[in-house]
Amino acid sequence: MKPGKERILALLYIVLGAVVFCLSSQIRYRFAVASEDVGPRFFPYCCAAGFVLCGLGKLLTSPAQGKGKTFIGDFSGWVRMAVILLVLLLYVYGLKYVGYLISGFLLLTVLTSMLSLDHRPPLWAVMLFSAVVTACTYLFFEKAVHVLLPSGTWIKPLLRALR
């Protein structure tokens, strides 16, 4: 019996997670890390764990034979992939100028709207979801992990003026 494409992709996710974990363990510290600091390996380890968990979830939920719906398929699927790539590039550049809060909110709003193929949630629900996820992520990194997220070169003067 030939394994489905989804299962092969799931195994690739797991292997990618293992590779990211191995490469992350080779990151050398260039400074003394304080005891409360998580260090430069933390985020790559989290990414590796995410890849492995997503791969395991996909492996357990995908059918043995490939009968799933194709994401790309025809020309419109390729256009959707190009738009997603463009949105991700704009997000990366937006981090520098408008910071994480605005860039992250816009990224989640656009991607959530684009990736809900069959079921289109109302715009207010997408925006509420994006705001909550962005705020929770920001608070987690800023307060719990003590990792500063970009505030943006255009936003910094506004924040100083408001103080």
DSSP class per residue in 109-160? HHHHHHH--S----HHHHHHHHHHHHHHHHHIIIIIS--PPP--TTHHHHHH
Digit-coded pLDDT (tens) for 86-125: 988 998 888 888 988 999 999 999 988 888 766 788 999 9
Band (pLDDT 50/70/90 cuts) for residue 128 is very high
Q: How many CA atoms lie within 13 A of 75 on its CB side?
A: 0
In the prediction, which pLDDT does 4 show? 72
45 close to 21: Cβ distance less than 8 angstroms:
yes
In the prediction, which pLDDT does 1 show? 44
Residues 6+ away with beta carbon under 8 Å from 124? none
Q: Are residues 81 and 157 in the same domain?
A: yes
Least confidently predicted of 66-70, 148-152, 155-159: 66-70
In 3D space, the residue among 43, 54, 42, 71 whose CA is nearest the CA of residue 16 turns out to be 54
Look-up of token digits 């797991």: 14
Average pLDDT over residues 8-26: 87
Number of domains in the chain: 2
pTM: 0.62
Q: How far apart are CA 41 and CA 46, in angstroms?
A: 9
Q: Are residues 82 and 136 in the same domain?
A: yes
Q: Are residues 83 and 139 in the same domain?
A: yes
Q: How many CA atoms lie within 13 A of 104 on its CB side?
A: 19
Q: Are residues 157 and 78 in the same domain?
A: yes
Digit-coded pLDDT (tens) for 40-92: 777 788 888 988 998 898 888 877 665 555 556 677 777 888 888 898 899 88
